Structure 1
Amino acid sequence: MDLAIVSDSHIPERADEIPDPFRERIAAADHTLHVGDVETAGVLAEFRDLAGELTGVRGNIDPTDIGLPTVAAIEAEDVTVVAVHGAVNPATRDPAIGPDPDHDDWMAASGVVADGHDWLEAVTTTARVVAAEGVTPELERACTPVPADVDAADIDAVAAAADSAPDPDQTVVGVGGHSHRVVEDTHRGVTVLNPGTVTGSYPGPRTTMMTLELDDGDVDVTVHELDE
């Protein structure tokens, strides 16, 4: 299975359109995953028309009535792919932001370190809970992007599930967005990916997406960058 992964399109507030080379990759894929911050229902419809088969999750910029879940999963080729925007850790509701002196000036100024440890924990925790229990209503509510008033009982339920979740017995990929920066890492038994921003929207330093080839439990990840 060929899976296209995109995020943080931010059309029309920060970008005008999906770049043509990325449109072609999306159209060619078997399935497309958008991990948040589409911005409007019209742009979401454009992605649906382009992709044919699309799975999306709501980001912190997306309107509450956009009709997307906060967490989703795709099962294919003995691989579980879990999607969440990554703005919060559902087991603690700590925002995946904070100061980080190791990042560029814009990161320090904005306080965003969504590709740091907090973000990694947010995506990994979500993926491990889904691998163990599936997408539960408590997890769906606890993954609601900030700002949100989330019941403490949901957070406690997700925390308990995260504490008891065993290491995945098959390949699990956790995919998030939010930082506009590419991440390819492994954390607590989960392959963690961030495709960056498909439109190069601020504050992303690059215009990127990913494609995944899933085959009998194996995952081949390719990062695609738009040549300016």
Structure 2
Amino acid sequence: MRLLLTSDTHLPTRATSLPDVLMAAVDEADAVIHAGDWIDEPTLDLLESRSIRLIGVYGNNDGPGLRRRLPEVAYAELEGVRFAVVHETGAAAGRERRCAAQFPDVDVLVFGHSHIPWDTTAGRLRLLNPGSPTDRRRQPFCTFMTLTVADGKVYDVTLHRLPPRR
């Protein structure tokens, strides 16, 4: 099963649309995970319409409409891999320890907020932050992630760097 991970799309404040490369990857994915800070409901509508399966949460910048439609934390089991999705995990220092304690029955925690790509482990918990496809902040590139899950394992985690916007 092919998964696409994204977060912090911040439309229309940071960009007017999602990058074509990201949308092509959405079309190829079996499931899309969005870790919050959508900002507008049309982005949620777009990803719902283009995704085979969409798993998403709201972020700190998301208003009442998105908060009515999305949970703060989402859980899903995909091909035997247990996922949790949340927007914020707190400070980078101690993140792995805190998240392993907070999500003891999860294999992969997908999070956002910082716009900083992240791929670490805490025991058997893997923590993934795909960065942002529209707002790189202090990062050199806008990014998103893809991975494959099968038979209870995670394979081929790839951070995709997006070309600069014109």
| TM-score after normalising by structure 1 | 0.65
On the 8 A contact 2:145/2:159 being kept in 1, the answer is: yes
1:75-130 per-residue CA deviation (whole Å, 9 max, x = no partner) reads 0222101101125xxxxxxxx24xxxxxxxxxxxxxxxxxx1254455444432xx
1:10-68 per-residue CA deviation (whole Å, 9 max, x = no partner) reads 00112221110110001110010000000011111111112232110010001133111
Matched, 1:174 2:109: yes
Total equivalences in the alignment? 161
Equivalent residues in 2 for 1:186-205 (5 A)?
A: 186-205=121-140
On the 8 A contact 2:29/2:52 being kept in 1, the answer is: no
| TM-score after normalising by structure 2 | 0.88
Residues 213 and 24 (structure 1), Cα distance of their counterparts in 2 relative to 1, 3 Å cut: same
> For the residues of structure 1 that align with 2:62 and 2:85, how far apart are their CA atoms?
15
On the 8 A contact 1:10/1:201 being kept in 2, the answer is: no
Can you give the 5+ residue segments of structure 1 that lack an aligned partner in the other structure? 88-95, 98-115, 132-167
> For the residues of structure 2 that align with 1:122 and 1:63, how far apart are their CA atoms?
27
- Aligned-residue Cα RMSD (Å) equals 1.8
Matched, 1:44 2:44: yes
On the 8 A contact 1:81/1:173 being kept in 2, the answer is: yes
Can you give the 5+ residue segments of structure 2 that lack an aligned partner in the other structure? none
Q: Which residue of 2 aligns with 1:225?
A: 161
> Would you tell me which structure has more strand in proportion to its own residues?
2
Matched, 1:85 2:87: yes
On the 8 A contact 2:32/2:51 being kept in 1, the answer is: yes
On the 8 A contact 1:15/1:201 being kept in 2, the answer is: no
> Would you tell me which structure has more helix in proportion to its own residues?
1
Flag the structure with larger Rg.
Answer: 1
Q: Which amino acid aligns with 1:77?
A: E
> For the residues of structure 2 that align with 1:122 and 1:199, how far apart are their CA atoms?
28
